[in-house]
Chain A
Amino acid sequence: MSAPNLPGEPLVAVRNLHVDFPSATGVTQAVRGVSFAIGREKLGIVGESGSGKSVTGRALMGLLPGSATVRADVLRFGTTDILHASEREMRTLRGGRIGLILQDPKYSLNPVMTAGAQIAEALRAHSRLGRREARDAALAALEAVQIRDPRRVADAYPHELSGGMGQRVMIAMMLAPNPELLIADEPTSALDASVQAEILRLIEELVDRRGMALMLISHDLPLVSRFCDRVAVLYAGQVMEELPAADLHRATHAYTRGLLECLPSLDHKRERLATLRRDPSWLAPHA
């Protein structure tokens, strides 16, 4: 069922992506010429609120509101040109070949359906499974995200689940149709530190084992670099710097350095935290 990909080309190609929103004062340029590619790897997209990181992810899924203007030289997933794809084509991508995990499972899960029924529904939307098969596949999906008692969780409503468990259900649902790319937009910001690490390790393991691509969107630079191969740092809708995650401590851009230096640290006592000096030149459009 896997649709074709261009041989020798990365799974995702984004070149010179622009997203504009109409606003009271004219036009807000949320994304201003972002380019990147994702193969079978884990790419971290890091930035502060308003940097355009979530909008970039949503543009890739064609999930922006109709008021947004999206332009790009290339916006491609596999062989699909997202800017010109029909709604029907996009539906096979969304939830089928691309999974999306959002910050808070409380809002992304349907509150009046049990976890198992939601996963089964997602599966049936993307494959020809019967009810019974879908139900069994949903249990298998819950097991795959290391839920010890999948039957109990399958029968539970979202409000009966903890935040960490809700996020596991979300991951199970998104991975059940075997997508090629998983977009995780702040998947753990609503969770405790210990649960955060568990969930990210789980995502990392599943992505590695299935040979999927991951786009991890977050404001947390150290966290992202810990779980990704490469990191792109966004500021005001542009990529300031892209570098291998392992080389983060060797980041050269003043913005990346500033983000790292303003963090309080457990190991090193700092009397005063460095604050970020925003250089107006960072706003200038890149060539």
Chain B
Amino acid sequence: MIDIAKLDVRFGTNHAVRGVSFRVAPGETFGLVGESGSGKSTVLRAVAGLVTEWTGRIAVDGKPLGRQRDRAFFRLVQMVFQDPYGSLHPRQTVDRILSEPLAVHGFADADARILRALEEVALPRAARFRYPHQLSGGQRQRVAIARALIADPRVLLLDEPTSALDVSVQAEVLNLLADLRAARGLTCILVSHNLAVVAHLCGRLAVMQGGRVVEELDEAALRTGRAVHPHTQDLIRLSRDLETA
């Protein structure tokens, strides 16, 4: 579904992503982990078309992508960002936020779709005419997810979708993402620095350091600590260390 080969991203003299390649099969959730500055979010933003200074190959659903993305691309691919405070327009109601993708893609049944989208992410109907500041952090992230899914994309890009949330809210959002993925057969890329979150949602993952993928492994190898690269082993050790209470 997603095929990335020899992806390079340079911002001026900063070589942020260096020769990254991986494939994600339809219906699969692929994890990208690494520390800040490792280039994991930049890879995601290059796929989403938010970063234009890239070279290499990015193909989604068999079609190689150029720098400019057309409307059909955004029907196919949507993104959820880390901070639901920053990614929702503060002066727009939830109704307006959810209407926009529908208007862009020319859906006729906007009203029914908005109601269904709210139901799907378990938001009360009353939330429809609220502003983002009137909602809790978890509710805002639900709105961001509803907005991403309202035009029925097949690929969802998730950039640290729960790291700004309380752990109890994180559990609800992770369960919601798992349910939606199963119900819609979504293909996802999840960027996170939290290995436990990645292991929970992803079947396979790549570990990035200094712009390179240093290791690709599956969930079982991650959980049992069968990692080869020292950086992956470091990350696993650290995660265990902080997890054991």
Assess A193 versus B35: contact at CB under 8 Å? Given A262-B167, A266-B199.
yes
Is A279's beta carbon under 8 Å from chain B?
Answer: no
Bits for A189-223, please: 1 = Cβ < 8 Å to B, else 0. 00011111100000000000000000000011111
- Chain A nearest CB, measured from B123 CB (Å): 16
Is A244's beta carbon under 8 Å from chain B?
Answer: no
- Contact, CB under 8 Å: A266 / B167: no
- Chain B nearest CB, measured from A208 CB (Å): 19
Is B147's beta carbon under 8 Å from chain A?
Answer: no
- Contact, CB under 8 Å: B234 / A258: no
- Chain A nearest CB, measured from B10 CB (Å): 21
Assess A265 versus B196: contact at CB under 8 Å? Given A48-B168, A193-B35, A259-B167.
yes
Q: Choose the segment among A10-18, A126-134, A135-143, A270-278 that binds chain B (4+ C-beta atoms closer than 8 Å).
A: A270-278
> Which of B174, B234, B240 is within 8 Å of A194, CB to CB?
B234
Rounded to whole angstroms, the CA-CA distance of A132 and B234 in the bound complex is 42
- Contact, CB under 8 Å: B36 / A273: no
Rounded to whole angstroms, the CA-CA distance of A194 and B235 in the bound complex is 8
- Contact, CB under 8 Å: A272 / B178: yes
- Contact, CB under 8 Å: A272 / B36: no
- Chain B nearest CB, measured from A240 CB (Å): 13
- Chain A nearest CB, measured from B44 CB (Å): 17
> Which of A194, A269, A274 is within 8 Å of B171, CB to CB?
A274
Is A64's beta carbon under 8 Å from chain B?
Answer: no
Is B109's beta carbon under 8 Å from chain A?
Answer: no
- Contact, CB under 8 Å: B171 / A193: no
Is A69's beta carbon under 8 Å from chain B?
Answer: no
- Chain B nearest CB, measured from A221 CB (Å): 7
- Chain A nearest CB, measured from B190 CB (Å): 12
Rounded to whole angstroms, the CA-CA distance of A174 and B239 in the bound complex is 29
Rounded to whole angstroms, the CA-CA distance of A249 and B200 in the bound complex is 22
- Chain B nearest CB, measured from A29 CB (Å): 18
Rounded to whole angstroms, the CA-CA distance of A263 and B175 in the bound complex is 12
* Cβ–Cβ < 8 Å partners of A22 in chain B: none
Rounded to whole angstroms, the CA-CA distance of A266 and B224 in the bound complex is 9
Within 8 A of B (CB), among A32-52: 48-49
Within 8 A of B (CB), among A253-269: 258-260, 262-267, 269
* Cβ–Cβ < 8 Å partners of B178 in chain A: 272
> Which of A49, A192, A272 is within 8 Å of B166, CB to CB?
A49
Chain A: interface residue total (CB-CB under 8 A): 34
- Contact, CB under 8 Å: B234 / A264: no
- Chain B nearest CB, measured from A162 CB (Å): 9
Q: Nearest chain-B residue to A219 (Cβ)?
A: B166
Is A248's beta carbon under 8 Å from chain B?
Answer: yes
Is B238's beta carbon under 8 Å from chain A?
Answer: yes
- Chain B nearest CB, measured from A242 CB (Å): 16
- Contact, CB under 8 Å: B175 / A266: no
- Contact, CB under 8 Å: A276 / B239: no
Assess A192 versus B35: contact at CB under 8 Å? Given A266-B196, A272-B175.
yes
Rounded to whole angstroms, the CA-CA distance of A273 and B239 in the bound complex is 18
Rounded to whole angstroms, the CA-CA distance of A197 and B237 in the bound complex is 11
Rounded to whole angstroms, the CA-CA distance of A197 and B196 in the bound complex is 16
* Cβ–Cβ < 8 Å partners of B240 in chain A: 266-267
- Chain A nearest CB, measured from B25 CB (Å): 21
Is A225's beta carbon under 8 Å from chain B?
Answer: yes
Is B127's beta carbon under 8 Å from chain A?
Answer: no
- Chain B nearest CB, measured from A28 CB (Å): 15
Rounded to whole angstroms, the CA-CA distance of A274 and B200 in the bound complex is 13
Rounded to whole angstroms, the CA-CA distance of A264 and B196 in the bound complex is 5
Q: Which residues of B contact A (CB under 8 A)?
A: 35-36, 137, 166-172, 174-175, 178, 193-197, 199-200, 222-223, 234-236, 238-245
Q: Which residues of A contact B (CB under 8 A)?
A: 48-49, 163, 192-197, 219-223, 225-226, 248-249, 258-260, 262-267, 269-270, 272-276
23 A-B pairs (CB sep. < 8 Å): A193-B35, A193-B193, A193-B194, A193-B239, A193-B242, A194-B234, A194-B235, A195-B35, A197-B238, A219-B167, A249-B245, A262-B167, A263-B196, A264-B196, A264-B200, A265-B196, A265-B243, A266-B196, A270-B200, A273-B174, A273-B200, A274-B171, A275-B168
